[in-house]
Amino acid sequence: MTILTARNLTKTYRIEDREISILEDISLEVSAGEFLIVAGASGSGKTTLLSLLSGLDRPTAGRVLIEDTDITDLKEDALAPYRNRSFGFVFQSFPLVPSLDARENIMFPAELRGDPRAREKADRLMARVGLEGRRSNFPYQLSGGEKQRVALCRALINTPRIIFADEPTGNLDSENSAAILGLLLDLRKESGATLIMVTHSPEIAARADRTVTLKDGRIAGETIHRIPHAP
């Protein structure tokens, strides 16, 4: 089953009298439960594509559909809660709220939904990633690996249908990178979520179902590594 469809996505910016094309005529489909890598050199448009697919930015032309819902023209007051309940986000910079402790950061998306079990879910996720003793620590008191685990828990607390990850291990050393990737893949498998990840890492790409490679804002190639859900 297809969960995400992008149709002829184009993104341009105008700077004074110049129009700069970032993406041009991108079309793709993503299956439910798939682990898709978006690869390409710096400046190829990977992060821009992820932003369009997730509704964090809007295309200049083209459409984005999540199952039967066209999110392209949704007003922000409808789009924001849709993103919160349907998507999880894990970024390279793990942008946590500095005034909230680790558990409060994780609870935040669930509290926005009015979930009465937000604290229980946060505690369960923290135990799952080995952060039981860090519930009351603020971001400045956490290591880079711990911050990314908090960000990962926050991304998963609403049991999203799609997880968008932009270089989630890019700021971590090799040991923490491997740990975070393992946790992300384990938790994604348990929840059945679709994972769309931007990464430069061939080691991570080798564990995906499919890689789409961008070059100069266009799809330059596609590699199928395995059929989604295959052992």
pTM above 0.75, yes or no: yes
Q: Is 123 inside any structural domain?
A: no
Q: Is 85 inside any structural domain?
A: yes
Q: Is 114 inside any structural domain?
A: no
Rounded mean pLDDT of 81-92? 91
Q: Is 14 inside any structural domain?
A: yes
Three-class HEC string of the chain: CEEEEEEEEEEEEEECCEEEEEEEEEEEEEECCCEEEEEECCCCCHHHHHHHHCCCCCCCEEEEEECCEECCCCCHHHHHHHHHHHEEEEECCCCCCCCCCHHHHHHHHHHHCCCCCHHHHHHHHHHHCCCHHHCCCCHHHCCHHHHHHHHHHHHHCCCCCEEEEECCCCCCCHHHHHHHHHHHHHHHHHHCCEEEEECCCHHHHCCCCEEEEEECCEEEEEEECCCCCCC
Give me the domain span that covers residue 210: 2-97+159-224
What's the structural domain count of the chain? 1
Rounded mean pLDDT of 41-60? 94
* Mean residue pLDDT across the chain: 91
- Asked if the model's pLDDT at residue 141 lies above 60, the reply is yes
Per-residue model confidence as pLDDT tens digits over 180-225: 888 888 888 888 899 999 998 888 888 899 999 999 999 999 999 8
Q: Is 35 inside any structural domain?
A: yes
Q: Is 13 inside any structural domain?
A: yes
Per-residue model confidence as pLDDT tens digits over 155-184: 999 999 999 999 888 888 888 888 888 888
pLDDT score for 92: 81
CATH number at 192 reads 3.40.50.300
Q: Is 130 inside any structural domain?
A: no
Q: Is 230 inside any structural domain?
A: no
